[in-house]
Amino acid sequence: MNLFIEQKDKILTAGYAPAPFMLDYRKKLSIATLANYLVHTAELHADRNGFGVEKLQSKKHSWVLIRLAIELKRAIHGNSNLHISTWVDKIFGITTLRCYQIAQDDEVIGYASSVWSAIDLEKRSPVRMTEIFPDKNIEVTFEHSIEAPQKLPSFSPFKYGLPFEVGYSSMDINKHFNSMRYIERCFDILPLEEALPETGFCKRAVMNFNKEALHGERLVAGYCKDAVNDSLYHLSITRVDEPETVLFAIDYYR
């Protein structure tokens, strides 16, 4: 999957070669695939620095993605390799802020930031970061142009997709609905030519992963356009029988 992996001054950079099956109908890398690359790069960095998933799971702990923001200057095409760099920006009480730089064709084309929490797999409760990082010497000060992802406001969906059930193929190693599948399900219900035109691209996406969904639960995605900004779409996923409980939300700027 990786063309190369290198780390310098606590910043890890990984190279990716987008395959045709990873591209959307516009021959561009989808936001879900880019998010998957970001998460994978974070896992590589964590493994190399002693706080990866395998190390945490030996203590019955694991990482959970809470929020993610992505900003792009242009679309990511499939004709050349992609380089993603990541580092730990800040460590807080029960969360950590991780940032990313995205480059293609020797040009920085975007940045991303994410908030992560560690959970106790048996108690399903947060773990304090002092248990993961005995000290803060992994933090890096690196100039970038994206703020930490914030909590998204609630909204009333205008249109819903078809309900779906969490099955085996959509579960991750924490035994809940895979974070990337939330993104895919939301984008699937958008009007194609209006929201995802061939000439357009995602300029910004902010995601909140609020609650976990488990095997067998029935979920549904919904969306509406912003009342003021014609280029902004609000999307969410809820349980079919609990429409007021938002499991996942994303603001998408085309």
Same domain, 140 and 155: no
Residue scoring higher pLDDT (4 or 73):
73
pLDDT in tens, 210-241: 998 999 999 999 999 998 998 999 999 999 99
Per-residue confidence (pLDDT) for residue 53, from 0 to 100: 85
Over the stretch 48-74, which tens digit does the pLDDT of each residue have? 998 888 888 888 888 889 999 999 999
Same domain, 30 and 143: yes
User: Looking at residue 228, which CATH number applies to its domain?
Assistant: 3.10.129.10
Assess whether pLDDT exceeds 70 at residue 1: no
Question: pLDDT of 30-48, one tens digit each?
Answer: 999 999 999 999 999 999 9
Q: Based on the structure, what is the number of domains in the chain?
A: 2
- The pLDDT, as a whole number, for residue 223 is 93
64/119 same-domain check:
yes
Q: Same domain for 182 and 132?
A: no
Q: Do residues 139 and 163 share a domain?
A: no
Task: Name the residue range of residue 119's domain.
Answer: 1-149
Residue 28 has pLDDT above 80, yes or no: yes
Label residue 167 by pLDDT band (50, 70, 90).
very high
Q: Which pLDDT does position 31 carry in this prediction? A: 92
- Say yes or no: 137 and 180 in one domain: no
Nearest to 11 by CA among 142, 132, 109, 149: 142
Tell me: do 44 and 145 sit in the same domain.
yes
Identify the residue with better confidence: 135 or 103.
103
Same domain, 74 and 6: yes
Q: Are residues 93 and 134 in the same domain?
A: yes
At 191-209, the pLDDT tens digits run 888 888 888 888 999 999 9
Same domain flag for 43 and 31: yes
Statement to judge: residues 8 and 105 lie in one domain: yes
Q: Are residues 10 and 104 in the same domain?
A: yes
Last residue of a domain, one of 149, 175, 204: 149
pTM metric for this prediction: 0.91
What pLDDT score does 137 carry? 84
Q: Of 149, 168, 189, which residue is a domain's last? A: 149
- Domain boundary among the residues 149, 180, 199 is at 149
